[in-house]
């Protein structure tokens, strides 16, 4: 009959087990690895959420990044502003969906068509590496008041102006936007980038405010502005024109300084104000959708054709589903 004996583990065995456990713990808590695991988790949730869509969209054959291979490299520069408190909820999600899509596009001579820069009050190492080191810590206050948002928009503009070669187009989106990069590039291709153009979707009619730029106290600036929640785009020609009034690289506070002269002016209104001062009118893009439109109220055709959408609920799995729906 076999006799079971109580065998005490050797000290070498205990040291080995302890070392393996500590190594595994450190590995899983290493920031880049943790961020990657977060994205894998989001993708798994996306697959589950896609199965729960009550009225799934019937997909057509979608365009591939190679369809834009004839586009000139450095065609589009996109900036997104966010804050540390939204890194896990929003930033990781858009990084694993539309931003990762944007980085796939290659133009002539295999040069990237789209570059993405992110402005935040903290840098996420994994996302920063993913977008080529273009995640920048803002010097602006992290609050959401209008003057601070103008400061952040000025900093976003300076990310564009700081590039060694200025892209043909500049676009701004928020961290709760979903951008269909296929539709965005197709929309931009329809416009003449050799002209000073300002693209967006206005939520109100013409606005008139006093002229604080030229010093004419009796003057008025008439303009329309693209609602920031839908995103907006400007050509390189337009960006060069407005640079003296929006960039901090030319001296002063740029767009933030303008907002201080007109208290209560939000960042998107300020951009429209400056473009209006330079007689650059807003070109309406109906397929750019903001927080003023409920995602649930849009038809399936609207979603297919959308350049941008916004999540105006607390359920960010909407974006995970949209990643499957895009053309």
Catalytic residues: 268
CA distance linking residue 245 with residue 154, whole number of Å: 10
- What Cα–Cα distance (Å) separates residue 233 from each residue in 190, 192, 208, 226? 13, 13, 22, 9
Could you say which DSSP state residue 55 is in? Answer: S
- Token pair for residue 113? 């068509």
**Contact call for residues 157 and 173 (beta carbons, < 8 A):** no
Using a 10 angstrom Cβ sphere, with 0-12 exposed, 13-18 middle and 19 or more buried, the burial of residue 8 is exposed
**CB atoms near residue 228 (< 10 Å):** 25
Residue 231 Rama label (left phi>0; alpha psi -120 to 50; beta)? left
Instruction: Choose among 219, 234, 235: nearest CA to 277.
Output: 219
**Contact call for residues 113 and 185 (beta carbons, < 8 A):** yes
CA angle (17 as vertex; 11, 22 as ends), nearest 5 = 125
User: Which backbone phi and psi does 173 adopt, to 5 degrees?
Assistant: -140, 160
- Token pair for residue 187? 């929309």
Dihedral angle of Cα 298, 319, 149, 237, to the nearest 10 degrees: -80
Residues 6+ apart with CB under 8 A from 316: 89, 90, 93
CA distance linking residue 215 with residue 218, whole number of Å: 9
């Amino acid at each position: 009959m076999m006799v079971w004996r109580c065998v005490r583990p050797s000290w070498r065995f205990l040291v080995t087990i302890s070392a393996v456990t500590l190594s595994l713990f450190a590995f899983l808590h290493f920031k880049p690895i943790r961020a990657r695991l977060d994205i894998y988790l989001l993708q798994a949730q996306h697959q589950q959420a896609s199965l729960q869509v009550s009225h799934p969209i019937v997909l057509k054959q979608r365009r591939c990044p190679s369809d834009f291979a004839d586009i000139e490299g450095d065609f589009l520069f996109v900036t997104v502003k966010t804050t540390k408190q939204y890194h896990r909820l929003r930033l990781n999600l858009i990084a694993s969906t539309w931003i990762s899509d944007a980085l796939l596009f290659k133009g002539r001579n295999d040069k990237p068509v789209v570059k993405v820069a992110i402005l935040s009050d903290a840098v996420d190492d994994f996302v920063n590496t993913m977008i080529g080191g273009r995640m920048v810590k803002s010097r602006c206050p992290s609050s959401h008041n209008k003057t601070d948002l103008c400061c952040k928009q000025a900093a976003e503009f300076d990310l564009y102006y700081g590039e060694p070669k200025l892209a043909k187009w500049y676009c701004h989106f928020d961290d709760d936007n979903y951008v269909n990069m296929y539709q965005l590039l197709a929309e931009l291709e329809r416009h003449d980038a050799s002209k000073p153009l300002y693209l967006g979707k206005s939520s109100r009619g013409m606005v008139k405010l006093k002229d604080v730029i030229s010093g004419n106290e009796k003057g008025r600036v008439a303009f329309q502005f693209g609602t920031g929640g839908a995103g907006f785009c400007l050509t390189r020609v337009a960006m060069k024109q407005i640079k003296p009034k929006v960039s901090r690289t030319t001296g002063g506070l740029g767009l933030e300084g303008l907002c201080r002269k007109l208290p209560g002016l939000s960042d998107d209104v300020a951009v429209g104000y400056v473009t209006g001062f330079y007689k650059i009118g807003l070109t309406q893009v109906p397929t750019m959708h903001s927080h003023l439109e409920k995602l649930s109220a849009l038809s399936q055709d609207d979603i297919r054709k959308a350049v941008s959408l916004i999540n105006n609920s607390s359920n960010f799995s909407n974006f995970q589903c949209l990643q499957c729906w895009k053309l």
